[in-house]
Amino acid sequence: MALPTLSPSSQTSAVVLTSTGSTAATGNGAANTAHYPFGIYSDSTSALFDANFVSGASDQVAFTYKKLGGDILDVELTVGNIYASYEEAALEYSYQINIHQAKNVLSDLLGMSTGTFDHDGQMTGGDASGSSVNLSFPRFEFGYAKRIADGVVVAAGAGGNQSMYSASFNTTQSQSDYDLQTIISSAAANNLDEATQGPVPYAGLVGNKKVRIERVFYKTPHSMWRFYGYYGGLNVVGNLNHYGQFSDDTSFEIIPSWHNKLQAMAYEDHLWTRLSHYSYEVHNNKLRLFPAPDGYVQSMWVQFSIDTDGWEEDADRTFGATGINNMNTLPFDNIPYGNINAIGKQWIRNYALALSKEVLGQVRGKFGSIPIPGESVTLNASDLLSQAKEEQTALKEELKTVLDEMTYKALAVKDAEMMEATGKVQGQIPMLIFQG
């Protein structure tokens, strides 16, 4: 007996991936923005629109069709699935590169101006809007470390970027205590120095802020007394410092340069300590003079700085609190497709293929098998999903590893090792015999 003819002997899937894509703007064409969830590179109205991206997405259809055996078995995917996977792969590559660049430049950009971004991650405002900052090599500087150092040296009184001011006030005979905070705040509010009766450079800057007193001093009207003390004779100065009674250019003694340096330091110390009639204490910006003024010194000077709030914005916004503070506020948008080289585009193709496998696995995983007359067909959904996840993970790990080896820090270390190795090689080269 003849075998019965089964009808149908095979079942063609309702959705089958075509063997090639198209760059058309309608239907299944890659230029049809309806196929892309975001349309960052495919929408002609987008700032990052690129016709080469459309062509790449179209070519990805043929690549996926061949890799998944579409010429032998049905591939239950639409061209739209392939286009969407290609877009996701390009955005993932942009993400990984931006993370890498953030590691390189964050310390150099902290405190600088950031920007605003739309739902696609594209910059819509800010100083760097539209300039693709993530594609630029920044001016290298120790900005982060320098700002920390500035804070330390300010506290230590060794400089820094904090402005120093001076103010003067009148003394009162037999009065030892003076409220410097009140004196300086009043001068700032009125723009009038108490002793000099002139304008002050810190007008309007104090308010309710506490000032930091650095030094209290006075100016004596006797310049000879300031320099020579109670002795005014040149012979005395010469005898004490081994110069004799001659000028430096006619002296018969050899005086080392360090002796002159120590001499200058001694004069400075002499000026502020030995010749001073007063000592003082400052507690909570309250000044106490010892002894109480006797009327001879009519005014004194104060050197101070104004404490600033760490959250207060600087006038020039150079080191403001509202600028770049972490990776999230870096002015980075999506990398233009045209700036991705052959290395990146091959990574995008492979990652898009892995994403397409994942989608196909999800589709086939809806049913574990398909019954046919007298038989059933088991689908490979689990295998596809497993392969897709493994391939995606491997591609991302490979890219991260390579990028970590190419940070600016890592490159500097490699350059240092290269120079060291070169020095060792050169050290083994015999030197030429000098002939003269």
Q: Where are the domains of the chain?
A: 33-137+328-425, 158-306
Q: Tokens 């030197």 sit at which residue?
A: 431
Rounded average pLDDT over 154-165: 71
Per-residue pLDDT at 115 exceeds 90: no
- Distance separating alpha carbons of residues 312 and 207, to the nearest angstrom: 14
With residue 170 as reference, give the H or E element that holds it.
strand 164-170
- Strand ranges in 180-306 using DSSP code E only, listed in sequence order: 211-217, 279-283, 286-290, 299-306
- Distance separating alpha carbons of residues 255 and 235, to the nearest angstrom: 17
* pLDDT tens digits, 233-252: 444 444 444 444 444 444 44
**Among the residues of 68-142, which ranges form H helices?**
79-109
- Distance separating alpha carbons of residues 304 and 217, to the nearest angstrom: 12
Per-residue pLDDT at 253 exceeds 80: no
Rounded average pLDDT over 19-34: 93
- Distance separating alpha carbons of residues 279 and 351, to the nearest angstrom: 76
pLDDT at 224: 42
Percent of the chain, pLDDT > 70?
Answer: 75
From residue 392, give the alpha-carbon distance in Å to each of 25, 59, 264, 347, 388: 30, 20, 71, 10, 6
Per-residue pLDDT at 74 exceeds 60: yes
Rounded average pLDDT over 261-282: 69
Which segment, 85-89, 203-207, 254-258, 302-306, is predicted with the most confidence on average? 85-89
Burial of 97 (0-12, 13-18, 19+ CB in 10 A): buried
- Distance separating alpha carbons of residues 372 and 370, to the nearest angstrom: 7
- Distance separating alpha carbons of residues 395 and 57, to the nearest angstrom: 19
Task: Answer whether 0.75 is exceeded by the pTM.
Answer: no
Average model confidence (pLDDT) across the chain: 81
Per-residue pLDDT at 312 exceeds 80: no
pLDDT at 399: 96
Sorting pLDDT into bands at 50, 70 and 90, what band is 160? low
Question: Amino acid identity, residue 218?
Answer: Y
Listed residue (103, 108, 122) closest to 38, CA to CA: 122
Least trusted range by pLDDT, from 53-67, 132-146, 291-305: 132-146
Per-residue pLDDT at 281 exceeds 80: yes
- Distance separating alpha carbons of residues 289 and 346, to the nearest angstrom: 78
pLDDT at 9: 41
**CA angle, residues 295, 298, 302, in degrees to nearest 5:** 135
Across 321-355, b (16+ Cβ under 10 Å) vs e yields eebbeeeebbbbbbbbbeebeeebbebbbbbbbbb
Per-residue pLDDT at 216 exceeds 80: yes
pLDDT at 235: 45
With residue 262 as reference, give the H or E element that holds it.
helix 257-269
* pLDDT tens digits, 379-422: 788 899 999 999 999 999 999 999 999 998 899 899 999 999 99
Q: Tokens 């700085």 sit at which residue?
A: 305
